[in-house]
Each structure stands twice: as C-alpha cells, then as structure tokens.
Structure 1
C-alpha cells in the first residue's frame, strides 16, 4: 500500500505503549531541517522484510520512525503473515512510504522488491526482529553527506537477547572485500551497513536466489565497487538472537551458501597463499581489538 511520506513522527504522534525505554518512551531529538552547510539531508530508504514476527515487529518499526531524521523513506515488506503483523503495520501506516503483505518468495525477494521502490540516496535494511539505535540515521546521513564519493559504510552493532538486553558488542572492521571474497570472513554486521543506491543499482542489487548469505554477497560487490569505510562511534543497531531467528535455524543453508560465495568471488589458493591471507586477516582484526580495549578501559569511542 502506497502512502508516500518522508517526515518522521514525534513520539507523541505514535500509538501509545505500556513498555518503557527505547523505542517506546524515548525518541531521538529531531535533527535540524538542513545540514550545517545548508544543504538538505540525503534521503535514506530503510526496508524491513518480515514474516510471522509480530512479537518484535513493532519495536523494529518504532526504532526506524523515531530516528528524528528529516528525510526518511520507510518501506515494510511483509510476506503474508497471519500472526497479527498486518494489524501492527496498519497502526503505523501514516508514517510508512509503502507497505505490503503478500507471499513474496522469501527474504531476498522481499528486499529486492523493496529496494526497487526506493528513491533514497542511501539504502539499508533492518530486519523485523532487530532494531536501530537512537541517532543512528542522523550519524549515517552526516557521514555520507560529508563523503559524496563513499559507496559503502559499516558500523558497530550489539548482539541482544530476545528481551532486548545487550549480550555483546560487535566492533566492526573497515570493509575488505578481498579478504571476505577469498576467505569468507568479515566483520560488517548487516544492521550497521549502509550504501548508495547508485552503487547498489550498478552492482545488480540483492541476489534473490540466496536465503542466508545475501548480505555478504551484496556487501562484497558494494565494497569492491567503490570507496568503503567503517563508520566510527557507538553501535548503530541491535542484532537480536532468539530461538526462532534465521541465524539459529538455517545452519545447513549457511554452509552451502558460504561455499557458493567462496567459489563465486574467490579463487583456488595454495596452502601458502591461504596461510598468508589468514595472517593478513589476523592483523586486520587488530584494529577492532584496539578499539575494544580503548572502549572497555577508558570509554573511548573511535
């Protein structure tokens, strides 16, 4: 259903909730209407794919809408849920740019169809059982606006449990498509990744045939297509771990797609070459280790 709105609501405008904290009784203060240089904020399009996630969906939706971001396009693609998800979506319909609820061929197809409707300069997705953190989109908008050459960026993310309590922080690494393509390793948590629509369209978008590794597949192509950076500072989003999460239930599919992507983007390596790349990966991870120690010891964000 097409609604077409780009203004984010105030906390008081949204449906009331008995729950407390972010994003129930806390909102990001609204950003100024223009950037400090007088230019408009870049439009950001967020797509949320969902199926049978009514327990978490409202929290995900509110975490996007309460970003206080002046130029937000928000698209919700539900796969025909019958668990109350549609009723939740309808409560927030006035602030959605587009939503639908119908069989969609799975998460990758829902993402591809959602991004096909996007008009934003910057794209990302947030799954229906995850959430953005306060101020994330304002930080992303400024980061990309200050770097018009930037293709792809990745920031830190928290692991949270089913109740929303933080388990662990993922300290993101600067994107390295070569190490990821050849070894299958990376530290770019999807909930903290953003990219330019122009680059997304140039590299061909989401691969609809993948069920688990569509994020790694897309991010390899995006980060190889143009300059990519780590977005500094605190976590941008939360990655929820729970018993019904795809991460917990699709291990066999992950293994098959992991091997597929190594064949697709990598190349046969000798034992010496493989060992050398593992050393490079070990050195590459030192960046995150230093940041972790600075944060835990001194509270420094960098």
Structure 2
C-alpha cells in the first residue's frame, strides 16, 4: 500500500526539519513525501531542497492559503492513502505509518484516525493538550465528535469521489471535509488507539478566542452546505468536548507495532 504524506509550509524554517525528519525516519518504506511551499522567504526552501530526492515531489509557489496548498498536494498524490502533516508538527514515533497501514489492512477501512497531543511551541516536551478521539459510533458528529484532522488518513478515492477542502472556509474546512466524508457519505472508519501526531500549539483554529468563535460559526455553515441538520446542542457540544483534552494525559509511546 503506497502512502502519500503531504506537508504544506510557508516561512516555516524554525521547525520544518523536525517535520521532514519524522516522515523520512518512518519504518514504513512505501511513502511518497510531497511538500507544498507557499513561496517562503526565510530559508525554508533551502532546507527542503537539502533533502534532495528523499522528498518525492516539491513545489514552491504562491497559493491562496493553507487549504489551497493542501488541495495542491492532494492533486499531486499518487498513493493509495493520503495523510497530511503540517510543517510545525511531527509524528510521535517512527512506526506511525506502519501501524496505520496495518490498521487499514486489518479492518478494510476507507479511513483511519488516531489521537494527537499539543505541546508548547518552544518546548516540545511540555504537554499542553491531549486529543483522544476515541472510537467512532454512527452519528457521532451529532454529539459534537470529530477526529483530529492531522491524525486522519483517507483513501485517495475519497477525495476523488467526494471532493477536496473548500476554499471559502477559513478555519473549519477540515471539519467540513470530515463531516462530508464520514457523516454524510458514510466512509468506513477504523481507530488507531494511540497518539500519532505531535502538534505545536498555536494553529489557525486555536490561536485566539476570535478564531475559535469564527470556527464555531463555520461549523454551522458546514452542516448547511452538506444539506444536513445538527441537533440544537451539536455545535455547543463540539467545543465543550475539548475541555477534557486539557486534563487527561496521553499514554506512553507504544513499544510494538499494531498487528
């Protein structure tokens, strides 16, 4: 099973090496690594090019933002499965892709997701938040559930059949896409019960209260765009479910791969 991993970046020289190394150090070997740069000016491009052919496809050109860059990468991908990893973030250990592929094979699923942790932007050993996605149940989106976007690996045909990220959404395009794939079109899911992604705090939808409010408004639009009707409490439960993420602690890194 060929896996395409896509990293999008703009002026990310501070952390891009950690991201790239976490992909290249994976024990799984059939990985197509794609990097989409938004015409960085801080040395990011030189860092990326220093890896030569270890990065299968690389483009550096202006784009219309994060989701436009992701769509470019998806369009370039030739793998059976597509995963996204932002330039500030990295895989928690070197067997994440191995475990993910094993989960796909074992469950014959359309998409696989796991858990994520957020760490301090300057000190990656300082835990800020633990996003445990948990097991999916039918209609879980109605109860405010969603998996962490970067822990979500989907078969390429899902994008080909059901579409890419919407560029008219600022911070909820990931929610809208997963709502469309999972809740509306009933993609078959499998859960990796482990932390797969380490994110540095400060992402687009988490950096301010203003952005959080805007994201919640866009969540409502996501349901409307898909011709779906949430419960009256659905969009209140979604942010409330995240409060637990600041209290619970993640398990230790697993020592064996998923079989």
The TM-score with structure 1 as length reference comes to 0.70
Aligned to 1:10: none
Given the alignment of the two structures, is residue 265 of structure 1 paired with residue 223 of structure 2, yes or no?
yes
Q: 2:64 aligns with which of 105, 108, 112?
A: 105
Counterparts of 1:268 and 1:111, CA distance in 2: 28
Unaligned residue ranges in structure 2 (runs of 5+):
253-257
User: Is structure 2 residue 210 aligned with structure 1 residue 252?
Assistant: yes
* Distance in 2 between residues matched to 1:114 and 1:83, nearest whole Å: 21
For 1:117-136, what aligned pairs fall within 5 Å after superposition?
117-134=76-93, 135-136=95-96
Give the aligned partner of residue 130 of structure 2.
169
Quickly say closer, same or farther: Cα 1:177–1:112, change in 2 above 3 A. farther
Aligned residues: 239
Aligned position for 1:11: none
8 Å contact kept, 2:110–2:154: yes
Query: Residues 148-185 of structure 1: CA distance to partner in whole angstroms, max 9, x if unpaired?
Result: 2x1222111111112211414321123467443x56x3
* Corresponding position: 1:49 with 2:23: no
Match of 2:255 in 1: none
| Relative contact order higher in (CA < 8 Å, ≥ 6 apart) | 2
Q: Describe the shift of the 1:254–1:108 C-alpha distance in structure 2 as closer, same or farther (beyond 3 A).
A: farther
**In the TM superposition, what is the alpha-carbon distance from 1:87 to its structure 2 partner?**
0.8
Q: Describe how 1:113-262 pairs up with structure 2 within 5 A.
A: 113-134=72-93, 135-148=95-108, 150-162=109-121, 163-167=123-127, 168-175=129-136, 178-180=139-141, 182=142, 185-224=144-183, 225=185, 226-232=187-193, 234-242=194-202, 245-249=203-207, 251-262=209-220
Q: Distance in 2 between matches of 1:147 and 1:153?
A: 9
Structure 1, unpaired ranges of 5+: 1-41, 297-301
| Offset of residue 254 of structure 1 | 4.6
Residues 174 and 228 of structure 1 are in contact (CA less than 8 Å); yes or no, is this contact kept in structure 2?
Answer: no
Alpha-carbon RMSD across the aligned residues, in angstroms, is: 3.0
